[in-house]
Chain A
Amino acid sequence: MEEKEFRDWLSAYTDADLFISTILHQRPSFRVNTLKISNETFDAVSNLECKKCAWYADARIFEGKAQLGNTFEYFLGYIHPQSLSSMLPPLALAPEEGDYVLDICASPGSKTTQLAALMKNTGTLIANDLPEREIALIPNIARLGVINVICTNKDAKNYPLKNEFKKVLVDAPCTALGSSLNASKRFSVEMARKMGEIQKRIIANAYDALAENGVLVYSTCTVAEEECEGVISWLLENRQSAKVEEITLNVPHERGLAEYGSEVAKTWRVYPQHLGSEGFYLARIKKVV
């Protein structure tokens, strides 16, 4: 889409000028990797100029000028550069110690390694992605010291296990309009529709992999309703046991688009201007049997 056309399209959802200017001036952030260092020790050893995040103890907003990749903290695996909003899906899933969790589209592993940290390197975390995407995932798993993981290479659209996992994260491939303005140049509504069809296949398989009373979190870094509320609405129509749950994090957001009904309205739209970070969509679904 041309810039003007994109602004007009985006205005149907939110303040397009604010959305675009925030994406252009995103604040760098990182997550303290508590698998290697506690927050308390990190604060005692690190001189990085950063601000703590009110809603997540492991998150920091970086205010310095150094390249994070060229710091002792990065080299030692104490930090992982990650946008604030991309830390939300693992928090919404809220895995606990000993849980059995599937991350069905795991690469490059920011959320996978965050899930492992939330699980305190216990239980079993399945990090699944296609073989050609795994190249970005594996170094992050090693650098951040994740040992409660099994890496698998199944196609998420045909995931073979059924009724298996207590928790599933679906951070689906998407048009990425919340991440970068370059994505808007490639974007068309037709592209969002096609992506939505792929996402429906992935979420259906991921949902079927959930055990009874299991919880699934679906996320994308886009705003196109065909990839967000449209996918959740389709899942609710096609899986009677699927119920949307409220996300209880104390984070600024807007509710899902009202025209999809009150259930889907429980989902979250986090626009760039909410956190000074990427735009994200989040839904928490329970398999109620």
Chain B
Amino acid sequence: MEFKNGPELRKYLQERFELSLPKDVQLSKTKKHGIRVSLKSLKTDRVFGLPGFMVYSKKTGLNFYFFQLFGSLAKKNVIALDEKDAKLYASGLHVKKKLSIDKGLVILAHKGHILGHGIYDGKGSISCPLRQKRRREITNSILPWPGRNI
């Protein structure tokens, strides 16, 4: 899956997840640092640098922190994981789960907390895109996010 620019990624998010970003948030393409998410109103007239953080690059794919931040706005293809599977995901392992959806990206949640995104293979397995350094062997539990039914 490749995205050439911000509008293309925005369109994909809408189609796949019915996810509309807040109006004051922009996705902008940079020459060497992929597509980045930032506030639209940043004062950029005299400062030259990298806005926000990288959401997508050809090399690293989509960034799971982006989904942690905005995933709660998605209206479809959000998959709830139990604690065991949430911990498997965080540790970088595949999660076995048969879903009645097309293969492709899914947003993963646990007790209403948005964990990030995964890649569903259409055959019962969700792979974890987390880079080695970002993986965690989680040792505790968390309580449900009040009023969030994902």
Contacts and interface: CB of A to CB of B under 8 A. Distances in A.
Given A72-B113, A147-B52, A41 B140 contact: no
A61 interface: no
A104 interface: no
Interface stretch (A63-71, A88-96, A219-227, A268-276): A63-71
Interface in A145-159: 145-153
Contacts of A41: 145-146
Contacts of B50: 150-152
B68 A72 contact: no
Contacts of A46: 142-143
B139 A71 contact: yes
Interface in A117-175: 121-122, 124, 126, 128, 138-139, 141-143, 145-153, 161, 164
B54 A47 contact: no
A36 interface: yes
Interface residues of A, number: 40
Contacts of A45: 111, 113, 142-146
A44 interface: yes
Among A47, A141, A149, chain B packs the most CB atoms within 10 A around the CB of A149
Contacts of A164: 46
B37 interface: yes
Interface in B92-144: 110-111, 113-115, 133-134, 136-144
A147 B38 contact: yes
A20 interface: no
Interface size class of B (residues with CB under 8 A): 35 or more
B53 A77 contact: no
B38 A149 contact: yes
A74 B51 contact: no
Interface string A30-56: 000000100001001111100000000
Contacts, number: 116
Given A41-B146, A124-B42, A164-B46, A138 B53 contact: yes
A119 to B, nearest CB: 10
Nearest to A149: B52
Contact of B65 (A69, A122, A142, A148): A142
Contacts of A141: 52-53
Contacts of A73: 140, 142
A-B pairs with the 3 shortest C-beta distances?
A: A152-B49, A142-B53, A72-B142
7 contacts: A36-B69, A45-B145, A70-B138, A72-B86, A126-B49, A147-B38, A150-B49
Given A72-B140, A124-B47, 11 more contacts: A45-B111, A45-B113, A45-B145, A66-B140, A75-B136, A124-B44, A126-B47, A139-B134, A141-B53, A148-B38, A150-B50
